[in-house]
Structure 1
Amino acid sequence: MMRRDKLRQTLRQLYTGQSRAAIRYQAVLACIDLAIIAFFIFGPYLRAGTSYLVLDYMIAFWIAGELVIQAVIARRFRDWLLRPMTWVDLVILGTLLFPNLLYNFAFLRAMRIWVLGQSPLLKVGLRKIGQSELNDVIRASINVVVFLFMATGFIYTFFFYRQDGTAGFVDALYFTVATVTTTGFGDITLPGTSGKLTAIVTMIIGISLFVRLAQAVVRPYKVTFACPKCGLNRHDADAVHCKACGHILNIPDDGL
């Protein structure tokens, strides 16, 4: 029992900690995730190759292993089960194991990019190079990129999938960017009521994410530090008192 608890604690530190060993481990995982994301992006063009299924099932095995480890290190199994990314990874795993049955949900694979932005690796890496103020900007940029890929994948799957070659994907990406930026050239449109509803949702969410990105770029840099008295979570980096309740703060110099 003690050995199992020690292993769980070690894994928890590696996955969520900020020590040098943990950051190195998370960097390796990030590189593997980037390779998996590249496979997801270029996978449709590799289906004719004999090695495609081998890579597909290797990635499925890796994601399944990650899910097991995350379940093991979770404080409570219920917490792990209620995490949105747990269900996203389960769907991604299903699309890898049953590609013909669940291909409609393959666009969710873009969420793997979002996971990279939530890792402590980003915050610690920016702190080490003295660019902590870019943390919010990079995370907001990742949110925009993830949404563009997910919207493009969804639109391609349900509206352009039957087009030959890369034409369908390019049309879906073109429509998504034109819609999100409200350019609206009108040369490519989605048919029917479902197409109109898709365009409406894409515009609303896309504009919101772009506004959030603009705010992250232009607003003054703030650190995340919860006030012990009132709980206000965002403060100026050099704040001494909480501007909400006046409580004396003790914000670390590194902003963590």
Structure 2
Amino acid sequence: MYHGDTPLARRFQAGFIAVDLAVIAFFLASPLLSDHPWFLAIDYSVAVLVGFDMIARGFAARDLRRWLLRPDVWVDLVILIALLAPMWIVNLAFLRVLRLWTLFRSPIVWRRLRAYGLDRWEEMIRAVVNLVTFLFVMTGFVYTAFAYRVPGIEGYLDALYFTVATVTTTGFGDITLPGPWGRIASVIAMIVGISLFVRLAQAVFRPRKVTYRCPRCALMRHEPDAVHCKACGQVLQIPNVED
């Protein structure tokens, strides 16, 4: 079901993506919903869902040891811990949005996107996902660590405003994080954020390339009309891509 290409497997994979997107939407809305009495019930239900998904993907993996070493698996494990123990020692709820990053590292997602011809935008999509994920992780951290303790950060929207202003290096100065840890958080936001913005700009504006493995040197990125590999000169047979 995870790796197949039968009609049933395709429907399962589409459902998997839809459920994951709904879970991510719940994670993004969590700061606004956490005071409701039914929040923990949904939270633990999602934890069970994520846990079963990890177990199923482990059984479906062709090489379990290699699968366990994948970074997205470790990130999913951190998300599961954050779901099961949101109030232990430190509130890790802001890490849940990393599920967006792990979703777009899943072969299931790219198999479906390739079916619709969207793989040509893979580099740009990954850059957007990385930037959005970082923005919301940083926003969650600022909200968790500084909300109601710092003048100007009275809610999640204020934390998002500070994060975007810092990441873009606009720095209006109306909200600042106090103390050494506040300055460290701001520096991290600026350095990582501007790097992700540059990566996104490169993906959008530089000439588009296609992914095709050279049979001789294994170079993956080529111009769409390339006849020879620019690294080793091997004759390429890149399939035509409709614009």
Residues 1:214 and 2:201 aligned together = yes
Q: Percent identity?
A: 53
Decide whether aligned partners of structure 1 residues 17 and 41 sit closer, same or farther in structure 2, where only a CA change above 3 A counts: same
Structure-to-structure mapping, 1:184-199, within 5 angstroms: 184-199=171-186
2:210 to 209, 223, 226: 223
2:46 to 33, 47, 59: 59
Q: Tell me the amino acid that sits aligned with residue 215 of structure 1.
A: Q
* Partner secondary structure for residue 104 of structure 1: coil
CA–CA distance in structure 1, aligned partners of residues 207 and 223 of structure 2 = 8
Following TM superposition, by how much is the alpha carbon of 1:216 offset from its aligned partner in structure 2, in angstroms? 0.7
Contiguous gaps of at least 5 residues in structure 2: none
The residue number in structure 1 matching 2:234 is: 247
The residue number in structure 2 matching 1:6 is: none
- The Cα RMSD (Å) is 2.5
Kindly provide the CA deviation profile for residues 62-99 of structure 1, in whole angstroms up to 9, marking residues without a partner as x. Answer: 11101111221223332222222222222221222222
CA–CA distance in structure 2, aligned partners of residues 59 and 154 of structure 1 = 21
**1:95–1:103 contact (8 Å) kept in structure 2:** no
The residue number in structure 2 matching 1:156 is: 143
CA–CA distance in structure 1, aligned partners of residues 145 and 54 of structure 2 = 29
CA–CA distance in structure 2, aligned partners of residues 170 and 155 of structure 1 = 11
The residue number in structure 1 matching 2:20 is: 33
* Partner secondary structure for residue 140 of structure 2: helix
CA–CA distance in structure 1, aligned partners of residues 109 and 57 of structure 2 = 19
2:65 to 48, 69, 78: 78
Kindly provide the CA deviation profile for residues 123-146 of structure 1, in whole angstroms up to 9, marking residues without a partner as x. Answer: 455545455432222221111100
Structure-to-structure mapping, 1:147-186, within 5 angstroms: 147-160=134-147, 167-186=154-173
Following TM superposition, by how much is the alpha carbon of 1:102 offset from its aligned partner in structure 2, in angstroms? 5.6
* Partner secondary structure for residue 155 of structure 1: helix
Q: Tell me the amino acid that sits aligned with residue 171 of structure 1.
A: D
CA–CA distance in structure 2, aligned partners of residues 213 and 48 of structure 1 = 36
The residue number in structure 1 matching 2:132 is: 145
Q: Tell me the amino acid that sits aligned with residue 170 of structure 2.
A: T
202-211 vs 47-56, which moves further? 47-56
Kindly provide the CA deviation profile for residues 31-71 of structure 1, in whole angstroms up to 9, marking residues without a partner as x. Answer: 11111112112223333433222211211111110111122
Kindly provide the CA deviation profile for residues 168-217 of structure 1, in whole angstroms up to 9, marking residues without a partner as x. Answer: 32221111101111101111111111111111111111111111111111
CA–CA distance in structure 1, aligned partners of residues 117 and 190 of structure 2 = 35
The residue number in structure 2 matching 1:46 is: 33
* Partner secondary structure for residue 143 of structure 1: helix
Decide whether aligned partners of structure 1 residues 83 and 246 sit closer, same or farther in structure 2, where only a CA change above 3 A counts: same
Kindly provide the CA deviation profile for residues 135-167 of structure 1, in whole angstroms up to 9, marking residues without a partner as x. Answer: 22222111110010111111211222658xx93
**1:152–1:172 contact (8 Å) kept in structure 2:** yes
CA–CA distance in structure 2, aligned partners of residues 161 and 18 of structure 1 = 50
Decide whether aligned partners of structure 1 residues 154 and 186 sit closer, same or farther in structure 2, where only a CA change above 3 A counts: same
**Which has a greater percent of helix?**
1
CA–CA distance in structure 2, aligned partners of residues 147 and 28 of structure 1 = 26
Q: Tell me the amino acid that sits aligned with residue 105 of structure 1.
A: L
**2:31–2:156 contact (8 Å) kept in structure 1:** no
